Amino acid sequence: MSANATPSDDLGGWPTGRLLSMAARLVEGAWAARLAEQGLTHAGLMALHELDNEGPLAVHDLAARCQVTPQTMTRTVDRLKRDSLVERQRAQHDRRTVEVSLTPGGRRAYLQAADMSAAEPELLGGVVDLPLLRANLMAIVEHLHHGSGRTLP
C-alpha cells in the first residue's frame, strides 16, 4: 500500500479471514473505548455478565466461563472490587471457597454497559444488515467452535 493509500483501496484483494480479523479488531477497539468511558474493560464486562447470569462464582469457575486463566480473572476481579462492582465472600456451602458476586453498583454498571448493544447500528455506521451479520457471525462461531471441546462463554 502506498503512503497515500487507504485500507479500502485494496480490501477487495484481502482474504476473508484477514477482513474478519481486521473488522474484529476495529470493532473491539471501538467497544473498548466506549467501555472505558464507563470505567470498564471487555474482561470486566464478561465477568459482570457471568455474575449477573449465574450469581456468585468462585474465581476459577468465573475464569472457566470467560475462557481465561484464573490468574487473569483474579486481576480482573481485583479491578472490579477496587471499583466496588464486585465483592468477595466465603461460600456458604464450603467455607474454604471464596466466591465473587455483583454489588448493586456492579449490577447497574453491567446493565448500563449491556445497553450499549442499542448503539451497534451507530457503531457499524448502518453499512450492514445487522441481523444478517449477527446470524452469519453466530454461524461462523458455532461452526469453528463445534469441534474445539470448549464451551462458549
- Taken in order 117, 123, 126, 128, the sign of the CA dihedral is negative
Cell digits of residue 86: 464486585
> What one-character-per-residue DSSP string does the chain give?
--TT--GGGSGGGS-HHHHHHHHHHHHHHHHHHHHHHTT--HHHHHHHHHHHHH-SEEHHHHHHHHTS-HHHHHHHHHHHHHTTSEEEEE-SS-TT-EEEEE-HHHHHHHHHHHGGGGGHHHHTTT-S-HHHHHHHHHHHHHHHHGGG-PPP-
Across all residues in the chain, what is the average pLDDT?
A: 86
pLDDT confidence of residue 70 = 93
Mean per-residue pLDDT for 69-90? 95
Q: Are 50 and 65 in contact (CB under 8 A)?
A: yes
Specify the pTM: 0.73
CATH topology of domain 16-116: Arc Repressor Mutant, subunit A (1.10.10)
The type of residue at 33 is A
Instruction: Place 122 in a pLDDT band, splitting at 50, 70 and 90.
Output: confident
